[in-house]
Structure 1
């Protein structure tokens, strides 16, 4: 955000909300959401619109003008535009990779070499390694995750379990990679050295990974063994894929090249565009489709009518239009986020939380809860890191807590919990990419809910918490809050 925009929104948000007014739009939205999803079994768009309208009414009551509120909604939407572009590209890449036979090849060979009992552990480890190398959970899920869903579902494994393993692995690598944007963001906003931040996250993230691997190992041994598809069913699926696609190990070069591009620090957007082009070329020159048919797949997705219902369900998807539900949900969610953030309602809610946070345990727990609440209200992972970092940094330092405790808490509570909110950009992306809703995969996204719990336990015990001396505290405050520090000394 430019300095002029900062000044603009500081001017517009100078009106103060009390906690009870600020929380009204959130309560209305949550009640509407529960009624829409649980009772009506409908989509979450309308509850978010109701929440936005409620927020605007409350803001108008306080004194905001319509032009200001409209601008805040647009500002919220602009924050999500990078995510919207990636979501649309993922739709294109899924369509082109299915049409080009890339997905079929990955599923075919995956069925040949991976044991169903160890599939969940295997896909978790693979996703963790890839996301650690490329620093992106979204890119990992859009490539390895899509193939993993196809392989696991072909084996007869519960899609929610597969999605949970993919998400756990993808977010482990994303959180621990020095190439990750959220990792760099959390370190930068708290004035913490990047690699000090990463090393400090080992205390919570590695135990979370061990728990996830252990749980998926026992699920594989005790549950999946008796629930997988029969060898005859798997053979029938492989035969159907052979009949409808050209299967070749050379097609595995397509995802390999995309992952290599990201490892070589090619930005996500051009790397995904390369993936779309490669899939499109494979569609025409390997699968033998006409140019017009390949272009239609990019727009409308792949359509397969085989004699195998499972194969049809795996491959009838993708394309730009397949992502429009996801795009519309993202835009609607960010209008709600824009109103809450830029009117100052979110700040009022978080200040109330800060009042009751006492001691190391209280401050760290409040940070994690605030990050989760921001994910739920502002629907964007980055905001769940940015806003709490602004709110809590000074409090951490004043309580002699090293800034790396805050940077870790931001990731534990913000980065990881974003997947549990169906209308958050991360939850929306996962639904659009893996085809599983947040409330279905939530019990199996084991790393994502285990790490915040471990973080709270460490805060209670003091283990893995780094303190600073009074001299270091005063030096930090003098450097980063010079005016306030002088006033305090006086």
Structure 2
């Protein structure tokens, strides 16, 4: 077992050294080499291990720290695996195509911007990915919007706002599952708790884009790209409103408080049955969709990008990144390094409002320094979980703050993987779309305000406190 972190004191100076090495290597690897963040995290882990060893921890203790960190992520990893399966099943079953088809039918010239927010939100909710939404519907939306002489930054802002709303609120989203899993919060409790900050933010966004869109009255909108996508979907899938019953069933299960894993399994089974009995696919095709993702042959690159995805193997990147990140976080937490850092932060964070603001700032700072959205959730989750529980605050307050500060703010840094992706995909940089990404900067502001006024901040009683402390000791 890992010894109590208070037995071997590590100062603030030594505690920040692993972070500095990780940040520098992360910036170089992600921004300059345009590579994955796994190796920088491993470098940070190695430096953290050296610091811990230097302060008297044995290698066996350091190994236990890493394993303990990984063990904390196992519930999230299980959900992430199921998410890969359900995406493959829903695409193969024509469920995603049906949702996109009817969503695209909503586009009208005078309400283009607000419609793009809604469409991107629907698609992202369905597939749990802001990136795939922006790379498909978003690209088409940019072409249509530009033909109407709407500024590129404005179009991109609407697309990003909708895509990140769906990503944040979807039970299929990896970041949503990470935030819930790493804080020990029930997935659907986490999503429900996010409604209080997320719904006002998307409402404000819709109002803003409705007002902005009224100035554009171009007639004869070019619907060529949208029609091409719809025609391709009609050719490849049987589109039917009856298929919308599948996500509706999952939503009903969630409303009935069915646990996440059984609810997702039901969604996987229904999606697979839809692919076999409604779309006419073979059992072999349905199994392949679950394992390696759905494969659709098409000359339309947007359609291929949207539907050639899902499956267990599509989640290996996220799973491996989570495991590596949690070895880093495990050493930092169990050696006392995070405690040394958070002690300094909490000296200026007074009350619940200050604590929530500290989490938001930490997430934004991690997005800026580490260039990776996932890390902005993983590292702060372990930095603050003990403090929230000790202050008798329910962990779902933390899981919400992690997403309010981490998931949505990654788009504001050009060197962050999300900022780079948006610039390359939508051909618009943060200087153009930043002011129009209304949802993404409204959410953290609302979250901080709610923290200071105490609105929808859930506390725990002494019995719950003991339960959480017992869970920490496992």
Q: Which TM-score applies when normalising by structure 2?
A: 0.71
- C-alpha deviation, 1:70, in angstroms: 0.8
Residues 55, 218 of structure 1: alpha-carbon distance in 2 compared, 3 angstrom cutoff: farther
Residues 141, 105 of structure 1: alpha-carbon distance in 2 compared, 3 angstrom cutoff: closer
Residues 323, 77 of structure 1: alpha-carbon distance in 2 compared, 3 angstrom cutoff: same
The 8 Å contact of residues 409 and 441 in structure 2, kept in 1 or not, is answered as: no
Is 1:22 aligned with 2:15? yes
Which of residues 80, 87, 90 is equivalent to 2:80?
Answer: 87
Match of 1:418 in 2: 406
Distance in 1 (alpha carbons) for counterparts of 2:396 and 2:269? 38
Distance in 2 (alpha carbons) for counterparts of 1:205 and 1:436? 25
Which of residues 149, 154, 167 is equivalent to 2:164?
Answer: 167
Distance in 1 (alpha carbons) for counterparts of 2:246 and 2:199? 31
How many residue pairs get matched?
417
Alignment of 1:2-17 (within 5 A): 8-9=1-2, 11=4, 13-17=6-10
The 8 Å contact of residues 389 and 410 in structure 1, kept in 2 or not, is answered as: yes
The 8 Å contact of residues 129 and 167 in structure 2, kept in 1 or not, is answered as: no
- What does the per-residue CA deviation read over 1:187-223, in whole Å, with 9 as the maximum and x for residues that have no partner? 99xxxxx9xx979x96x76764454334444565679
Match of 2:113 in 1: 117
Residues 303, 142 of structure 1: alpha-carbon distance in 2 compared, 3 angstrom cutoff: closer
The 8 Å contact of residues 107 and 147 in structure 1, kept in 2 or not, is answered as: no
- C-alpha deviation, 1:244, in angstroms: 1.4
The 8 Å contact of residues 100 and 287 in structure 1, kept in 2 or not, is answered as: yes
Alignment of 1:375-414 (within 5 A): 379=375, 381=377, 384=380, 387-388=383-384, 390-391=386-387, 410=398, 413-414=401-402
Q: Which moved more, 1:10-19 or 1:51-60?
A: 10-19
Which of residues 245, 265, 282 is equivalent to 1:273?
Answer: 265
Distance in 1 (alpha carbons) for counterparts of 2:275 and 2:447? 47
Q: Which TM-score applies when normalising by structure 1?
A: 0.69
Is 1:309 aligned with 2:306? no
- C-alpha deviation, 1:391, in angstroms: 3.2
Q: Give secondary structure in 2 for the equivalent of 1:296.
A: helix
The 8 Å contact of residues 168 and 212 in structure 1, kept in 2 or not, is answered as: no
- C-alpha deviation, 1:373, in angstroms: 6.5
Structure 2 unpaired stretches of 5+: 144-154, 172-176, 411-415, 456-460, 467-474
Task: Give RMSD over aligned pairs.
Answer: 4.7
Alignment of 1:315-464 (within 5 A): 315-357=307-349, 365-366=357-358, 368-370=360-362, 379=375, 381=377, 384=380, 387-388=383-384, 390-391=386-387, 410=398, 413-419=401-407, 443=434, 446-454=438-446, 464=453
Is 1:256 aligned with 2:253? no
Q: Give secondary structure in 1 for the equivalent of 2:105.
A: helix
- What does the per-residue CA deviation read over 1:79-136, in whole Å, with 9 as the maximum and x for residues that have no partner? 1111111111111111111111111111112122344432244358869xxxxxxxxx
Distance in 1 (alpha carbons) for counterparts of 2:265 and 2:193? 30
Distance in 2 (alpha carbons) for counterparts of 1:60 and 1:451? 41
Distance in 1 (alpha carbons) for counterparts of 2:356 and 2:314? 40
- C-alpha deviation, 1:14, in angstroms: 2.0
The 8 Å contact of residues 119 and 220 in structure 1, kept in 2 or not, is answered as: no
Q: Give secondary structure in 1 for the equivalent of 2:239.
A: coil
Structure 1 unpaired stretches of 5+: 1-7, 128-137, 175-179, 189-193, 397-402, 467-475, 482-490
Residues 390, 75 of structure 1: alpha-carbon distance in 2 compared, 3 angstrom cutoff: closer
Q: Which moved more, 1:324-333 or 1:365-374?
A: 365-374
The 8 Å contact of residues 329 and 382 in structure 2, kept in 1 or not, is answered as: no
* Structure (1 or 2) with the larger CA radius of gyration: 1
Distance in 2 (alpha carbons) for counterparts of 1:446 and 1:83? 29
The 8 Å contact of residues 52 and 335 in structure 2, kept in 1 or not, is answered as: yes
Q: Which moved more, 1:38-47 or 1:90-99?
A: 90-99
Alignment of 1:51-90 (within 5 A): 51-90=44-83
Q: Give secondary structure in 2 for the equivalent of 1:113.
A: coil
